[in-house]
C-alpha cells in the first residue's frame, strides 16, 4: 500500500470512529426524543449558538435548530450569540423591521433605532435647554454618548425661551430641533400649534410617567424633578428647630428669612399646604393638590397675599436659592431639588425637607412646529434621538449626574445598579421620599397656565 492509499485508509477509519462515537453518545439513553426547538438568535443580529440539546443530546450547530434531545427530552434553547450591539436583527433575533413596520403597540426596538441612527452619521442636531445642572447631566448622559456611538453632533443652546419657541413656530424659521420643556408647557403648546405631534411608533412611551404617557407632543429623555423646601443647616443647627412643614414656612412666627420663586408654579400648592399641612397625610389630600380646583386656587392666592410681607425674596434663577442660603441672606426657600443636591455634593451645609411635601414634575422634550415640513430628514433624526434617549438603559444614566429621576418607569429598577448609590435616596421618585410627593397633573397645569400666571404676576405687583 503506498503512502497516499495509507492516508486515505486512516482518514476513512477516523471518520468511522467519529460516527461511532456520536452514535454511542446518542444511543446510551434509549430512543431519541423529539427535536428540540430552535434556540433564539442573539440580541443583535448574529444567530445564537444553538443550546445544548436535552440531557444527553449533542449541541446543535451555530444558527441552526438544536439537535435532537436524548431520552425523549427536547433540546434546550440556544444561548445568545456573540453579537454586536448594533447587529442587523431586532430583539430576540427577529429580523430588523423597516420604520414603516413599527407601530405604537410594537414600537421600535433599541436595535432597530440604532440601525436608523447610524444612517445619520456625520449629521448634527440642535437641542435647546435651560442650562444649569440639568443641562450638564443631559450632556454626560445623552449628548456625548450620541456623538461617540453614532457620530451625531449635538449643538446646544441654553436659551430655551418659550417666546423664542413660539416665534420659530409662527415664522417657520426653525432653529431648534429639540427643546427641553416642562410637560405642562407641552400640554399648552400642543393645541396652540407651537410643537409637533410625535410618532409613538418611533418613541416607546408606554411606560412613561402618567403625565407624559398621555401627552401626544412630549417625548422622553427628560427628567422627573421636584420643587422642595430647602434650608440652611447653619441657620438651623439643631435639627429640632428646622422647618418640618410648609405650615412652618407660612407661619410668620417661625424664625428665619424665606424666599419663593417669582412664578406661580409650585407656590400655589405650597400655599395650600401651608394653610392645611394635614393634606399631605392622606392619598386623597395629596391627590386634591395635583389638580387644584378653582376654589383651591382662590384660597392659595388669599394665603399668598396675606403672607407676602413675610416673603423676603422672590428668586429668579435656579441657582438663586442655594446661593442665598449659603450667603446667609435666607434661612429657607423653595428650590429645585437638583440645585440643592449639587450644592450638598460640594459640601454646602444645606438640607431638603422631603417630609414637608414637594411637587413632583417632569420635563418633556418637544419639537418645534414646522420642522417636519421644513426639513423631513431633520424631523426624522429628532424623533429617533428622542426615542433613543427614552430607552430605559439610556434614560437612567441621567440620574448618575443629577438627583432627578428618569421619566421611563422601566428605568427605575435599574437605579439599583452600580453608580447610583449616592443619589438613589435623593431622587424625588425614591421609595424613601415618594410618600411625600404631590404628582403634578401637568395636563391640568397646561390648561390653566395662562390664567394662573397672569394672576401670579398681578400678585407680585400688589
Query: pLDDT tens, 108-136?
Result: 999 999 999 999 999 999 999 988 888 99
Higher pLDDT, 11 or 137: 137
Question: Which of 35-49, 95-109, 137-151, 326-340 comes out lowest in average pLDDT?
Answer: 35-49
- pLDDT surpassing 70 at residue 10: no
Chain position carrying cell 435623593:
426
The size of the chain, in residues, is 462
Query: Distance between CA atoms of 60 and 71, rounded to whole angstroms?
Result: 16
pLDDT of residue 132: 81
Question: Which of 211-225, 245-259, 390-404 comes out lowest in average pLDDT?
Answer: 211-225
- pLDDT surpassing 90 at residue 171: yes
pLDDT of residue 152: 98
**Burial readout 376-403 (b: 16 or more C-beta within 10 A, e: otherwise):** eebbbbbbbbbbbbbbbebbbbbbbbbb
Report which of 25, 18, 15 is spatially closest to residue 69, judged by C-alpha positions. Answer: 25
Cell matching residue 225: 424633578
**CATH for 106-223+363-416?**
3.40.190.10
pLDDT of residue 78: 37
- CATH fold of 225-361+428-461 reads D-Maltodextrin-Binding Protein; domain 2 (3.40.190)
Over the chain, what is the mean pLDDT?
A: 83
Give pLDDT tens digits for 396-449. 999 998 999 999 999 989 998 888 988 888 899 888 898 999 999 998 998 898
- The bridge status of strand 178-182 relative to strand 224-232 is unpaired
Percent above pLDDT 70 for the chain: 80
DSSP lists the bridge partners of residue 228 as 335
Mean pLDDT of 323-333: 98
Residue span(s) of the chain under CATH 3.40.190.10 come to: 106-223+363-416, 225-361+428-461
Judge if pTM exceeds 0.85.
no
Amino acid at each position: 500500500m503506498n503512502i497516499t492509499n495509507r492516508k486515505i485508509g486512516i482518514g476513512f477509519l477516523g471518520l468511522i470512529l467519529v460516527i461511532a462515537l456520536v452514535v454511542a453518545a446518542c444511543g446510551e439513553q434509549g430512543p431519541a426524543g423529539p427535536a428540540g426547538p430552535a434556540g433564539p438568535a442573539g440580541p443583535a443580529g448574529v444567530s445564537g449558538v444553538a443550546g445544548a440539546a436535552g440531557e444527553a443530546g449533542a449541541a446543535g450547530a451555530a444558527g441552526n435548530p438544536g439537535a435532537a434531545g436524548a431520552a425523549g427530552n427536547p433540546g434546550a434553547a440556544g444561548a445568545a450569540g456573540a453579537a454586536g450591539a448594533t447587529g442587523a436583527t431586532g430583539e430576540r433575533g427577529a429580523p430588523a423591521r423597516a420604520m414603516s413596520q413599527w407601530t405604537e403597540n410594537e414600537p421600535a426596538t433599541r436595535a432597530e433605532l440604532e440601525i436608523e441612527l447610524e444612517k445619520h452619521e456625520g449629521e448634527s442636531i440642535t437641542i435647546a435647554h435651560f442650562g444649569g445642572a440639568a443641562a450638564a447631566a443631559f450632556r454626560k448622559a445623552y449628548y456625548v454618548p450620541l456623538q461617540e456611538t453614532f457620530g451625531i453632533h449635538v449643538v446646544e443652546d441654553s436659551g430655551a425661551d418659550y417666546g423664542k419657541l413660539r416665534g420659530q413656530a409662527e415664522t417657520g424659521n426653525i432653529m431648534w430641533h429639540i427643546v427641553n420643556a416642562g410637560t405642562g408647557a407641552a400640554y399648552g403648546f400642543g393645541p396652540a400649534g407651537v410643537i409637533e405631534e410625535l410618532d409613538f411608533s418611533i418613541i416607546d412611551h408606554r411606560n412613561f410617567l402618567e403625565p407624559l404617557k398621555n401627552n401626544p407632543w412630549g417625548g422622553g429623555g427628560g427628567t422627573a424633578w421636584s420643587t422642595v423646601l430647602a434650608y440652611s443647616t447653619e441657620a438651623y443647627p439643631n435639627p429640632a428647630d428646622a422647618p418640618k412643614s410648609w405650615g412652618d414656612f407660612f407661619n410668620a412666627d417661625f424664625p428665619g428669612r424665606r424666599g419663593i420663586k417669582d412664578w406661580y408654579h409650585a407656590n400655589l400648592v405650597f400655599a395650600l399646604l401651608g394653610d392645611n399641612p394635614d393634606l399631605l397625610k392622606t392619598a386623597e389630600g395629596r391627590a386634591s393638590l395635583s389638580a387644584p380646583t378653582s376654589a383651591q386656587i382662590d384660597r392659595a392666592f388669599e394665603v399668598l397675599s396675606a403672607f407676602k410681607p413675610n416673603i423676603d425674596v422672590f428668586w429668579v434663577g435656579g441657582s438663586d436659592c442655594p446661593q442665598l442660603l449659603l450667603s446667609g441672606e435666607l434661612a429657607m426657600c423653595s428650590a429645585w431639588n437638583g440645585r440643592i443636591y449639587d450644592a450638598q455634593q460640594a459640601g454646602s451645609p444645606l438640607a431638603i425637607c422631603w417630609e414637608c411635601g414637594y411637587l413632583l414634575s417632569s420635563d418633556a422634550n418637544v419639537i418645534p412646529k414646522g420642522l417636519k415640513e421644513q426639513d423631513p430628514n431633520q424631523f426624522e433624526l429628532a424623533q429617533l434621538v428622542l426615542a433613543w434617549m427614552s430607552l430605559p438603559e439610556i434614560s437612567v444614566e441621567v440620574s448618575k449626574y443629577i438627583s432627578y429621576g428618569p421619566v421611563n418607569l422601566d428605568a427605575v429598577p435599574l437605579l439599583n445598579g452600580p453608580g447610583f448609590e449616592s443619589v438613589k435616596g435623593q431622587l424625588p421618585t425614591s421609595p424613601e421620599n415618594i410618600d411625600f410627593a404631590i404628582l403634578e397633573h401637568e395636563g391640568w397645569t397646561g390648561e390653566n397656565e395662562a390664567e394662573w400666571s397672569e394672576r401670579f404676576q398681578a400678585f407680585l405687583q400688589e
